[in-house]
Amino acid sequence: MLANYRDTLALLVCIVALAALINRFAKEHRWVLRRLVSLFALLLLARGLAFALSQAGAPAWEHRMLGAAALLSSFAWVNVGGATLFDLVLPRLGVRPSRLVSDLLLGAAYIVATGIVLAESGLALSSVITTGAVLSAVLALSLQTTLGNVLGGVTLQLEGSVKVGDWIQLDNGKQGIVRDMRWRHTVVETRDCDTVIIPNATLLSTAITILGRRGGKPVPHRMWVYFNVDFRYSPARVVQVVQEALTASPIPNVASTPPPTVVCLDFARDNRHSFAYYGARYFIEDLGPDDPTSTVVRARLHAALRRAKIPLARPAGTQFVRLESDEVDTRREARHEQRRLDALRQVALFSSLTEEELAILQTELEYVPFASGEMITRQGARAHWLYVLGSGSANVVATHEDGSTAQLATLHAPNYFGEMGLMTGAPRVADVIATSEVECFRLTKEGFEKVLLKRPEIVKELSARLAERRRELRSAADARPARPGEEEEQIFEAIQRFFGLRS
C-alpha cells in the first residue's frame, strides 16, 4: 500500500513539473495536460474507492479497484513519457511528428502497459488476447467505414505521400494547405479561409495534386499571367521588354531559379480580333500569397509596357464615341505641357534656365512609370539621361566592394537623380529602387544638348551645382569629400568633353 502512495506522489510531482515546462516552452500543447489531469483524478478516485472497500471488508472488490488503479497509473505514466517526448524534446530538436504518429505510438504503449498490469494481476494473457481478437472481428464488421478511414490515415503516414504543410489541389479544383492528419480524416484549409474535412479513405481513392513538390522534395510552383498585345508590335520586342522587367530586380516570393520567362502563346484566331496572346511564367516559393504575388507581377508587366509605349490590346471591334472637341484636346495637351514644365522647375540644376529653354526641354521629356520594387537605374550602368521624379518615392542604395549594401537616401517627389550621367556620361554610383508606384520623366543627352549648344556659357554654373550635389551625396555615404574648387573644375572639363564644347 505504501508503494502505491509513493507511486502516486511521484506521478503528481512529474505532472506538476511537466505542466511548468509546457507552459514555459510549449504553450500550444497545453491540451495534453487536461488528459493527464483527468487520468490522475481517476487514479485518485480509484485509490480512494479501494481504501473505502478495504475498510468495508470487501477484499474482492478492493482487489479489482486496485487493479483499475494500477492500470490508470500505467496510462498516466505513458502520457507523461509521451508528452515529454512529443511535446517538449522532439520539437526542440526540430522534429515534429504528426498527431497520428504520436497517437499510434501512445496506443502501442497503452497495449504494452495493459499487458504488464494484467500479467501482474495473475490474469492469463492468452485468454485476454483471444477475447480481444473476437471483439476486434465484431468491431471490424460493424465499423468498416471508420476502420477504412483509420487505415487510410495510417497508410498516408507510412507512405508520406501527403504531409502536414503540403499545398494540394482537390479533384474539384479547390486548393488548400494540409493543416492536420487525424485518425479518421485530414483537415485542409482553403484559400477562401474555409476548412474542408476529407475522410482518409476518400483521400486515398481520389486523385489529388500536390503543389510545389517533385521527387518528394519541395520545389517552386509555376504560375502564369496572361496578356494580349496588338499585332503591330513585334512578339520579339514584347517578350524582351516584359522579360527584362521581370528579371531586372527581385520580386518578393518569386524564385530567381528558374527565372521568369515570357512566351508568345498564339495569335488570335477570331477574325474580329487582331492581337497576340502572351504569357509570363514565373515560379513562387510560398504558395500562400499567390494572388498578391501575381498582382506585383502584373503591376511590373504593365509599367514595362507603358515605358515601352506598347499598349495592351483592345478588341478590334471596339467602338469609341468621342464627345470632345479639338479645344478639349488642346487643353489636355496644355495640361501635359504644364506638368512637364512643373517637373523641370523642381530640378535645382536647371534653375538658371530661361522659360524658353525650359519649354524646349519639356518637349524632350519622356514619361517612364515604374512599379514598386523595380530598379530604376543600376549602379555602374552608363545611362546618359536624367530622371525627374514626378510622384512616388525611391531608395538610393550603394553596393560596396565587399558586397555589403548601404542605403544612402530616400528620394521623395518632387526630386531628380542621374544628373552626372546626363552631364558627364559618368556611370551610376548607386542603385535607385522604387518603393512605391513611381512616375518619372526622363531627359536624354540629345534632348539637353539642344539647350546647351545654344548657350554653352551655362556650363560653369551647371558645374558648380553638380559639384555641390555630389558633395551632399558623399556626405550621406560618409565618403571622403574632394576639395570644392578642384571637383568643380573636374566636372566642368568632363561636361565640355562629353558635349564636345572644347574649341
Q: Which residues pair with 377 in a beta bridge?
A: 432
**What is the per-residue pLDDT for 143?**
45
* H helix or E strand, kind and range, residue 224: strand 221-230
Question: H-type helices in 56-195, by residue range?
Answer: 59-83, 90-92, 99-120, 125-142, 144-159
Cα–Cα distance, 365 to 261 (Å, whole number): 31
CB-facing half-sphere around the CA of 108: CA atoms within 13 A? 6
Question: Domain segments of the chain: what residues?
Answer: 2-142, 161-216, 220-307, 341-499
The pLDDT of residue 261: 95
pLDDT in tens, 192-230: 888 998 887 777 778 888 898 887 788 899 999 999 998
Distance separating alpha carbons of residues 152 and 164, to the nearest angstrom? 15
* Residue corresponding to grid cell 495640361: 335
> What does the alpha-carbon distance between residue 287 and residue 191 come to, in Å, rounded to a whole number?
10
Percent of residues, the chain, with pLDDT higher than 70: 85
**Whole-number pLDDT of residue 321:** 60
8 A C-beta contact, residue 103 and residue 109:
no
> What is the rounded average pLDDT of the residues 236-257?
94
C-alpha count within 13 angstroms, C-beta hemisphere, residue 107: 7
Q: For position 479, what pLDDT does the model report? A: 56
Could you confirm whether domain 220-307 is CATH 3.30.70.100? yes
The architecture that CATH gives domain 341-499 is: Sandwich (2.60)
pLDDT of 263-286, one tens digit each? 999 887 776 677 899 999 999 999
Provide the 3-class DSSP secondary structure of residue 487.
helix
Q: With both helix axes pointing from N to C terminus, report the angle between 445-452 and 484-499 in degrees, rounded to the nearest 10.
A: 100
Q: What is the pLDDT of residues 366-403, one digit of tens each?
A: 999 999 999 999 999 988 899 999 899 999 999 888 88
Per-residue confidence band for 477, with pLDDT thresholds at 50, 70 and 90: low
The yes/no answer on whether domain 161-216 falls in CATH 2.30.30.60 is yes
Q: How much of the chain is helix, strand and coil, in % rounded to 5?
A: 50, 20, 30
Q: What is the model's pLDDT at position 395?
A: 94
Whether residue 178 contacts residue 184, with contact meaning beta carbons closer than 8 Å, is answered with: no
Between residues 335 and 229, which one has the greater pLDDT? 229
Residue 24 CA: distances (Å) to CA of 12, 14, 17, 76, 386: 18, 15, 11, 21, 58
8-state DSSP, 254: B
The answer to whether residues 447 and 364 touch, using CB atoms and an 8 Å cutoff, is yes
Average pLDDT over residues 139-160: 57
% of the chain surpassing 90 pLDDT: 23
Mean pLDDT of 29-34: 82
Grade residue 176 by pLDDT with cuts at 50, 70 and 90.
very high
- How high is the pLDDT of residue 49? 86
Global pTM exceeds 0.75: no
